[in-house]
C-alpha cells in the first residue's frame, strides 16, 4: 500500500480547511515547545556567545573534532571489515552440512546477538587483560566488541541472503560438477552479497553509532573528544553535544540515503531477498535503508 494517498480521500474544500487548521494548531504548539526550550536554555545561559565561539576557531576543529571524527571512522571501518569476515565465516558455518560445525556456529551467533555491546566492551577492556596478562587498548576493546555483535547480526543476514538465492542456481552448479565449496564461493556468496548490500550498509550506520560507546572506555572518538574533552576546555557541554549530534546525523543520514539508493537499485535486478510478505503494489514500502535485519543498537 503506498501510504501517500490510499489512506484518505483527496481533500475536498472542508478537508482542506480542516487540514490547514490542524497544521496551524500543531505548528503553533510545536513552535511554542521550541520557544519554551529556547527560553529555558536561554535562562540557563546556553546561547551565550562565548559558549559557541570555540566552534568558529580552527583549533577546536583540528584538535578536537576532526581527530575524534577520524578515530570514530577508523574504529567503524576496521570494525566493519572484521564484522564482514566474521559474518561470512559464521553464516557459511551455520549452513554447513556437518552438525559439528553448524551447531557451534549457530550457538556463537545466537549468543553474541543476545549480549549487550557495552557488556562485551567492558569485558574486553577490563576483564581480558587479567586473562591474557597484558593490557588491551581502548581501540581494540571497541573494535572487538563491535565485530562480535555486528558480525553476528551480519551472519544472520548473510544466511538469509544465501538461502534466498533460487535453488536452481546451486542445482545447476552441482550439475556441471562443482564441489560444495565451489558452489558456495562462486555461485551463492556473490549473488547473496549483491542482494545483501543494502543491509550491509545500514548495518554500517548501526556500527558507526555504536562507536560512540567507545567513550565509556576513554577511546578518543567523536563523543569523547568533541563533547567531553572540548567541554572540559571551554565549559560548553550542551553546545558541544548539539554540534556533535549534528555531525553524527549528517554522516548517518548520508549512509542511510546510500543504503536506500542501493536498495532501490538492486530492486530492479533479477531477484532480491524477500522481506516480509509484500504485496505487488508496495513499491515504496520499505523505510529508507531497508533496515529489516539491522537492529537498533546504541
User: Segment 180-219, which members bind another protein (CB under 8 A)?
Assistant: 205, 209-213, 215-216
Say how far apart CA 34 and CA 140 lie, in whole Å: 41
Q: Which of residues 117-136 bind another protein (CB under 8 A)?
A: 117-120, 122-123, 126-128, 130-131
**Smallest gap, in angstroms, from Cβ of residue 89 to another protein?**
21
Query: Counting contacts by CB under 8 A, is residue 77 touching another protein?
Result: no
**Smallest gap, in angstroms, from Cβ of residue 52 to another protein?**
15
- Which residue shows C-alpha cell 516480509? 276
Query: Counting contacts by CB under 8 A, is residue 285 touching another protein?
Result: yes
C-alpha pair distances (Å), 71 with each of 79, 206, 253 = 12, 16, 19
Complex with another protein: residue 158 or 215, whichever CB lies closer: 215
One DSSP character per residue, the chain reads --TTTTTSPPP-HHHHHHHHHHHHHHHHHHHHHHHHHHHHHHHTTTT-HHHHGGGGSHHHIIIIIHHHHHHHHHHHHHHHHHHHHHHHHHHHHHT-S-HHHHHHHHHHHHHHHHS-HHHHHHIIIIIHHHHHSS---HHHHHHHHHHHHHHHHHHHHHHHHHHHS-HHHHHHHHHTT--HHHIIIIIIHHHHHHHHHHHHHHHHHHHHHHGGGGGGGT--SHHIIIIIIHHHHHS-HHHHHHHHHHHHHHHHHHHHHHHHHHHHHHHHSS-----S---TT-TT-SPTT--SS-----
Q: Which of residues 235-274 bind another protein (CB under 8 A)?
A: 237-238, 241, 244-245, 248-249, 252-253, 256
Per-position x/- string for 12-41, each x denoting binding to another protein as judged by CB under 8 A, each - no binding: ---x---x--xx--xx--x---------xx
Complex with another protein: residue 106 or 173, whichever CB lies closer: 106
Complex with another protein: residue 75 or 188, whichever CB lies closer: 75
Complex with another protein: residue 182 or 229, whichever CB lies closer: 229
**Smallest gap, in angstroms, from Cβ of residue 187 to another protein?**
29
Q: Of 6, 175, 176, 270, which lies in the binding site for another protein, with binding defined by CB under 8 A?
A: 6
Complex with another protein: residue 188 or 213, whichever CB lies closer: 213
The cell for 241 is 553535544
- Residues in binding contact with another protein, number by CB under 8 A: 71
Query: Counting contacts by CB under 8 A, is residue 291 touching another protein?
Result: yes
**Smallest gap, in angstroms, from Cβ of residue 53 to another protein?**
18
**Smallest gap, in angstroms, from Cβ of residue 292 to another protein?**
7
Complex with another protein: residue 99 or 133, whichever CB lies closer: 133
Complex with another protein: residue 79 or 189, whichever CB lies closer: 79
Say how far apart CA 230 and CA 221 lie, in whole Å: 12
Complex with another protein: residue 181 or 276, whichever CB lies closer: 276
Q: Of 116, 166, 235, 274, which lies in the binding site for another protein, with binding defined by CB under 8 A?
A: 116
Amino acid at each position: 500500500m503506498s501510504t501517500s494517498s490510499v489512506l484518505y480521500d483527496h481533500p475536498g474544500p472542508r478537508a482542506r480547511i480542516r487540514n490547514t487548521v490542524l497544521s496551524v494548531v500543531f505548528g503553533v504548539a510545536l513552535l511554542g515547545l521550541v520557544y519554551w526550550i529556547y527560553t529555558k536554555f536561554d535562562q540557563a545561559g546556553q546561547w551565550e556567545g562565548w559558549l559557541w565561539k570555540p566552534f568558529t576557531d580552527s583549533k577546536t576543529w583540528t584538535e578536537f573534532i576532526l581527530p575524534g571524527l577520524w578515530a570514530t571512522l577508523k574504529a567503524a571501518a576496521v570494525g566493519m571489515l572484521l564484522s564482514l569476515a566474521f559474518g561470512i565465516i559464521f553464516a557459511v558455518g551455520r549452513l554447513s552440512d556437518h552438525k559439528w560445525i553448524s551447531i557451534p556456529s549457530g550457538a556463537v551467533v545466537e549468543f553474541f546477538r543476545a549480549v549487550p555491546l557495552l557488556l562485551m566492551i567492558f569485558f574486553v577492556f577490563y576483564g581480558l587483560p587479567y586473562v591474557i596478562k597484558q593490557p588491551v587498548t581502548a581501540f581494540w576493546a571497541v573494535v572487538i566488541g563491535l565485530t562480535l555483535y555486528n558480525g553476528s547480526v551480519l551472519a544472520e543476514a548473510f544466511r538469509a541472503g544465501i538461502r534466498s538465492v533460487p535453488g536452481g542456481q546451486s542445482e545447476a552448479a552441482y550439475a556441471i560438477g562443482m564441489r560444495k565449496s565451489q558452489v558456495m564461493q562462486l555461485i551463492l556468496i556473490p549473488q547473496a552479497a549483491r542482494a545483501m548490500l543494502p543491509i550491509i550498509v545500514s548495518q554500517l550506520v548501526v556500527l558507526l553509532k555504536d562507536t560512540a560507546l567507545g567513550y565509556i572506555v576513554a577511546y578518543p572518538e567523536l563523543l569523547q573528544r568533541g563533547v567531553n574533552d572540548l567541554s572540559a576546555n571551554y565549559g560548553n557541554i550542551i553546545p558541544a553535544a548539539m554540534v556533535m549530534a549534528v555531525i553524527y546525523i549528517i554522516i548517518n543520514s548520508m549512509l542511510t540515503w546510500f543504503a536506500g539508493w542501493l536498495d532501490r537499485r538492486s530492486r530492479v535486478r533479477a531477484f532480491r531477498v524477500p522481506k516480509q510478505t509484500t504485496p505487488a503494489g508496495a513499491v515504496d514500502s520499505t523505510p529508507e535503508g531497508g533496515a529489516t535485519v539491522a537492529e537498533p543498537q546504541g
